[in-house]
Amino acid sequence: MLTFAEEILLLLGDEEGVFLPVEEHAFECALAGAVLMDLAFAYRIDTDLEKLVAIDPAPTGNPMLDRVLEKIVARTDTTDTRTWVGVLSREDAAVLREQALESLAGRGVLERRDGRFLWAFGAVRYPALDDGAVRTIKARIEDVLSDDIPHPRDVALISLVDACEILPDLFPDRDVAAFGPRIALLRRMDLIGREVAGTIADIQRTVVREARARAARFQKLLLVLSAFGGLGVAATLLSPPIPLADRFGPGLFESLWYDGVWKQWSGYLLLGLSVAGLGVATIVKKRLVARIAGSHGWRLFHIVLGIACVLVLFAHTGFRFGANMNAALMAFFVAALLSGALAGAAIGGTPRLRKMGIRKTGRQNRLLIGLHAVAICPLPALLIVHLLSVYLY
Amino acid sequence: MSPKIVPWAVVAATLAGAAWFAAAMTVGGDRSALLIGETTDAHHQIELACETCHAAPAFASAAKAEKALNRACRKCHDKELKAADDSHPRRKFRNPRMAVYWEKLDARLCTTCHVEHRPEIVRASAVTVAMDFCVACHSEGDQDVRAERPSHAGLAFDTCASAGCHNYHDNRALYEEFLVRHAGEPWLADAPAHELSARQRVRKRPARAALARGDAVAPRAALADPAWLDRWADSGHAAAGVNCGACHAPKAGKNATRETVEASWIEAPGTAVCEDCHRPQARTFVLGRHGMRRHPRVAKPRDPLRQLRKIGLSEFVPETVALWLADPAPPTTMTVAEARIPMRSDAAHGTLDCGTCHTPHAVDVRHAAAEACASCHDDPHTRAYFASPHHALWRAELAGEAPPGTGVSCATCHMPKTERRGRIATDHNQNDNLRPNEKMIRPVCLDCHGLGFSLNALADGALVERNFTGTPAVRVESIGWATRRAQATKREAGG
């Protein structure tokens, strides 16, 4: 039998092994909740209003579940469900995800394919070898969302799917808004064995609440930062060049824009920020930044770097696009910043867009991120030409 | 196209582009896409001959690169600055005693005030600093202009060069002593005429006999067109005894026969033929905007093989590839369409060489002096000329109704006559006295007008645009101030 975590991952992946652009906070909360639910169904943990405790430390035989169980057993202080969902989603989500994917690959449901993007960046995909499993899970959900009498595991799975807000993507041809009352009813139904009913219900509530709360906080911050960056890019595009003073004498802008030393400082700072932004988004996001800044700090940090790029770009150019090769470099750089800001705003604004009735945003978000990547591609070559032209002439 | 190919296609295209531009920068090829901004004035004509100005070796330090740039400025402009008796010569500021001013405005370097490829900061006369730059040195200490001149007390520093009083380099007609000497002159001289023009018009022709229609020595086919023959017969060339072979068959020599002329006949001779006889004109033509692409200081196209040797790649790049990378052949002449001032659209394809103004078979300097200019230039000043008093004088002179030298054509002011070793020639460097326009006062305006009137007229932009039809609405105070100061000094000395 598949674990909840494996089922969720199967639902999120497509036949090419590309995952739906699900809100990552929600996904990580769902992943943490999925493991806790499996442990509850295996009679290993119990909850009450104040704490989540291990009632049976015996291993389940599943490495992923046993790892979490060991962690719960090892903890001596009083810790409630909410805290565990938070801890697991922050500290263990990446590992849980990898373990679940490897488990699916080991069972022959998925295939692990190691590839590289532009030779430089590692990329692992898990395309489905057999889409029968996915179809079965979807059919279970669809049946439960109809009027069928649900199985307790299906109820739990639906709560995880709901937490991830992927119902619109799973059933693009259905009016998912109509599922709302049914999902609420399912949550209230006493369908689970008395021993675990309270635990599962507690985990369900906590996962959904935590996922939505954390997602909302993150998305709000993401939206604000992206909007700030977008305004900066709009100013770069629309503002006329800042005129210079008609009075002779040293001026800050004159120094910034026409003094070779200052130009080099701002230019290399811009280069450093761009490289850092690229590094954060490609290499570091899964490793270093996840540890030092939380699992989603990398994205916020990436946008902060983008905003810094806009400010330093102003210091370097004063809204002047230049001519010929310089204009091309500036155009691609601004395009990269603008597509990045729009992608950030789109991801951050997803809940608002959904409230406005715009539900299918995944494909558009992916398109904006793709445009962001394409706009970045010419920059190294253009920068080399720019630097060479400065030092050769 | 598969979406996966898109990033690869973009990367491949940009890497190919980068390689192309790297080759263009280091070996040879079209570098127009590398220009970071428009150049000032007529420099656009030579902006792709990058090494003319960017003469420092690759990856030279900023100081060396700046030094090389300034040396390039001086190579082309030093002579005219010397001729202008430059008021702020470089040598003055190289003196260590002037070090206090280097921080304020480093006048040792041309690039302090004239930066290229930055069109957004270019002001009048290609200046790229704020126009009140005089304040840097003349607002305090010994050099404070207001200390000794009460007349300057309320004046803003951005009016120094814009009010018709001072120029940074050329003050030949603006310095105090000159102003005092010419104070009180009437607006028009008693016998207004351009002396050198008058002398040239009445000069004796060379002793050689003038040629007539029947004297033309040329292949029969060339003589078949009577119109060409008539134009030549009426031209200055025929009057000076210059036969067809002199231009079309220079190798045939002076005593050429029809056979020898036919043997070495060139259908369309180049400007080199003109330059053989008209050396002073050719020498000055390449110094001006019309001919500056052939200025001797303009860098020649790079030799790709030599460039490859310099970067150590000559052994790895086949010669055919290297030659394919060569710089595009630079045009030797500018087309009218390339000009960045208002020009006639119907003249767009015209090129600028001797024949543009001096129709080869009807060498008519009267046409070249005015109508030829208006056949390309289309600015208000040019258009207004034909209704101006100057043009009326020119027509009167051409009609024989006024003495030689009294007419004023475009060339009279913009290509004035010069005398060297007793020979009078037309200065074909038409921007020698163009800007600032006070440069025109001594060689041109004062021939007919008083200094006061000239200063006022040249300072009145609207009057200049109307080609001096009317009277100046601007009054330049400098003569009055200089006169009063001289009188006061005299009184003090006397008392």
Say which amino acid occupies A23.
Answer: E
Contacts of A387 (CB under 8 A, 6+ apart): none
A67-81, A310-324, B379-393, range with the lowest pLDDT = A67-81
CB contact under 8 A, B34 and A247: no
Of residues B25, B32, B133, nearest to A388 (C-beta): B25
pLDDT score for A288 = 47
Name all contacts of B56-62 with Cβ < 8 Å and 24+ positions apart: B58/A391, B58/A392, B58/B26, B59/A391, B59/A392, B62/A260
What is the distance in angstroms between the Cα of A33 and the nearest Cα belonging to chain B? Answer: 35
Interface membership of A241 toward B (CB under 8 Å):
yes
Q: How far apart are CA B295 and CA B284, in angstroms?
A: 9
What is the distance in angstroms between the Cα of B6 and the nearest Cα belonging to chain A? Answer: 7
Burial status of residue B381 (CB atoms within 10 A of its CB: 0-12, 13-18, 19 or more): middle
Contacts of A242 in chain B (CB under 8 A): none
B147-151, B305-309, B316-320, B360-364, range with the lowest pLDDT = B360-364
Q: Render pLDDT for A198-242 as a digit per residue (tens, 0 to 9).
A: 666 777 777 777 777 877 888 888 899 999 999 999 998 898 888
Is residue A298 within 8 A of residue A280, CB to CB? The reply is yes
Burial status of residue A316 (CB atoms within 10 A of its CB: 0-12, 13-18, 19 or more): buried
pLDDT at B78 over 90: yes
Q: What is the mean pLDDT of residues A176-188?
A: 77
Q: What is the mean pLDDT of residues A324-334?
A: 94
- Where does a domain end: B427, B448, B469? B448
A279-283, B148-152, B190-194, range with the lowest pLDDT = A279-283
Q: What is the mean pLDDT of residues A12-35?
A: 76
Domain membership of residue B381 (yes or no) is: yes
B200 in the same domain as B83: no
B384 in the same domain as B259: yes
pLDDT at A297 over 90: no
B207 in the same domain as B338: yes
| Alpha helical stretches, state H, chain A | 4-12, 24-41, 63-74, 81-87, 93-106, 132-145, 152-164, 167-170, 180-188, 194-238, 252-258, 260-279, 288-292, 297-317, 324-348, 350-355, 362-376, 379-392
CB contact under 8 A, B118 and A258: yes
Interface membership of B17 toward A (CB under 8 Å):
yes
As for the ipTM of the complex, it is 0.84
Q: Which three-class secondary structure string do you get for chain B? A: CCCCHHHHHHHHHHHHHHHHHHHHHHCCCCCHHHCCCCCCHHHHHHCCCHHHCCCCCCCCCHHHHHHHHHHHHHHHHHHHHHHCCCCCCHHHHHCHHHHHHHCCCCCCCHHHCCCCCCHHHCCHHHCCCCCCCCHHHHCCHHHCHHHHCHHHCCCCHHHCCCCCCCCCCCCCCCCHHHHHHCCCCCCECCCCCCHHHHHHHCCCCCCCCCCCHHHCCCCHHHHCCHHHHHHHHCCHHHHCCCCHHHHHCHHHCCCCCHHHHHHCCCCCCCHHHHHHHCHHHHHHHCCCCCCHHHCCCCCCCCCHHHHHHHCCCCCCCCHHHHHHCCCCCCCCCCEHHHCCCCECHHHCCCECCHHHHCCCCCCCHHHHHCHHHHCCECCHHHHHHCCCHHHHHHHHHHCCCCCCCCCCCHHHHHCCEEEECCEEEECCCCCCCCCCHHHHCCCCHHHCECHHHHHHHHHCHHHHHCCCCCCCCCCCCHHHHHHHHHHHHHHHHHC
B251 in the same domain as B166: no
Q: How far apart are CA B35 and CA A82, in angstroms?
A: 61
pLDDT at A299 over 90: no
Q: How far apart are CA A150 and CA A168, in angstroms?
A: 21
Two structure tokens written together for A236: 């770069």
Q: Render pLDDT for B216-227 as a digit per residue (tens, 0 to 9).
A: 999 988 888 888
pLDDT band at B314 (very low <50, low <70, confident <90, very high): confident
Q: What is the mean pLDDT of residues A355-363?
A: 66
Helix or strand (DSSP H, E) at A52: strand A52-54
pLDDT at A120 over 70: no
Q: How far apart are CA A280 and CA A276, in angstroms?
A: 6
What is the distance in angstroms between the Cα of A230 and the nearest Cα belonging to chain B? Answer: 24
B273 in the same domain as B133: no
Helix (H, G, I), strand (E, B), or coil: what is residue A378?
coil
- Where does a domain end: B448, B465, B480? B448
Contacts of B38 in chain A (CB under 8 A): 323
Interface membership of A376 toward B (CB under 8 Å):
no
CB contact under 8 A, B158 and A117: no
Q: What is the mean pLDDT of residues A329-343?
A: 94
Domain membership of residue B279 (yes or no) is: yes
- Per the structure, the count of domains in chain B is 2
Q: Pick the more confident residue, A319 or B88.
A: B88
B106 in the same domain as B225: no
pLDDT score for A193 = 46
Q: Render pLDDT for B424-468 as a digit per residue (tens, 0 to 9).
A: 999 999 989 998 999 999 999 999 999 999 999 999 999 999 999
Q: What is the mean pLDDT of residues A164-182?
A: 77
pLDDT band at B208 (very low <50, low <70, confident <90, very high): low
Domain membership of residue B493 (yes or no) is: no
pLDDT at A340 over 50: yes
Two structure tokens written together for B224: 């078949």
pLDDT at B295 over 60: yes
B399 in the same domain as B274: yes
Q: Render pLDDT for B162-178 as a digit per residue (tens, 0 to 9).
A: 888 999 999 999 999 99
Which residue of chain B is at minimal alpha-carbon distance from A385?
B18
Our CA angle for B178, B179, B185, nearest 5°, is: 110
Domain membership of residue B149 (yes or no) is: yes
Is residue B427 within 8 A of residue B418, CB to CB? The reply is yes
Contacts of A241 in chain B (CB under 8 A): 120
pLDDT score for B483 = 96
Domain membership of residue B272 (yes or no) is: yes
Contacts of B24 (CB under 8 A, 6+ apart): B30, B31, B34, B325
Contacts of B3 in chain A (CB under 8 A): 370
B343 in the same domain as B273: yes
B76 in the same domain as B123: yes
pLDDT score for A361 = 58
Interface membership of A374 toward B (CB under 8 Å):
yes
B365 in the same domain as B225: yes
Interface membership of A387 toward B (CB under 8 Å):
no
Two structure tokens written together for A350: 């997803």
Q: What percent of chain B has pLDDT over 70?
A: 98
Is residue A20 within 8 A of residue A12, CB to CB? The reply is yes
Domain membership of residue B398 (yes or no) is: yes
Domain membership of residue B73 (yes or no) is: yes
Q: What is the mean pLDDT of residues B126-144?
A: 92
Interface membership of B51 toward A (CB under 8 Å):
no
B157 in the same domain as B220: no
Which residue of chain B is at minimal alpha-carbon distance from A245?
B130
Q: What percent of chain B has pLDDT over 90?
A: 68
Query: Which of A322, A201, A191, A336 is CA-nearest to residue A263?
Result: A322
Q: How far apart are CA B95 and CA B100, in angstroms?
A: 10
Contacts of B132 in chain A (CB under 8 A): 246-248
Of residues B11, B33, B120, nearest to A320 (C-beta): B120
Contacts of A260 in chain B (CB under 8 A): 62
Which residue of chain A is at minimal alpha-carbon distance from B119?
A322
Q: How far apart are CA B418 and CA B278, in angstroms?
A: 14
pLDDT score for A229 = 93
pLDDT score for B376 = 96
Which residue of chain B is at minimal alpha-carbon distance from A254?
B129
Q: Render pLDDT for B254-278 as a digit per residue (tens, 0 to 9).
A: 778 888 999 999 998 989 999 999 9
Of residues A248, A380, A384, nearest to B135 (C-beta): A248
Best to test chain A binding among B6, B8, B21, B26 (most A CBs inside 10 Å) = B21
Contacts of B58 in chain A (CB under 8 A): 391-392
CB contact under 8 A, B11 and A247: no
pLDDT score for A290 = 45
pLDDT at A291 over 50: no
pLDDT at B231 over 50: yes
B161 in the same domain as B122: yes
Write down the mean pLDDT value for chain B. 91
Of residues A244, A246, A377, nearest to B10 (C-beta): A377
Helix (H, G, I), strand (E, B), or coil: what is residue A365?
helix
Of residues A117, A246, A382, nearest to B14 (C-beta): A382
A25 φ/ψ angles, rounded to the nearest 5 degrees: -60, -45
Contacts of B8 in chain A (CB under 8 A): 118
Q: How far apart are CA B262 and CA B245, in angstroms?
A: 9
Of residues A118, A324, A325, nearest to B11 (C-beta): A118
Contacts of A248 in chain B (CB under 8 A): 105, 129-130, 132-133, 135-136, 157
Which residue of chain A is at minimal alpha-carbon distance from B63?
A260
Q: What is the mean pLDDT of residues B81-95?
A: 94
Sign of CA dihedral A49, A53, A56, A62: positive
Q: What is the mean pLDDT of residues B172-192?
A: 96
Query: Which of A288, A303, A281, A293 is CA-nearest to residue A90?
Result: A293
pLDDT score for B4 = 67
Domain of residue B236, residue span: 195-291+333-448
Which residue of chain B is at minimal alpha-carbon distance from A324?
B33
Contacts of A330 in chain B (CB under 8 A): none
Domain membership of residue B354 (yes or no) is: yes
Contacts of A374 in chain B (CB under 8 A): 6-7, 10
pLDDT band at B24 (very low <50, low <70, confident <90, very high): very high
Interface membership of B25 toward A (CB under 8 Å):
yes
pLDDT at A274 over 90: yes
CB contact under 8 A, A241 and B120: yes
pLDDT score for B107 = 95
pLDDT score for A117 = 61
Q: What is the mean pLDDT of residues B128-153?
A: 91
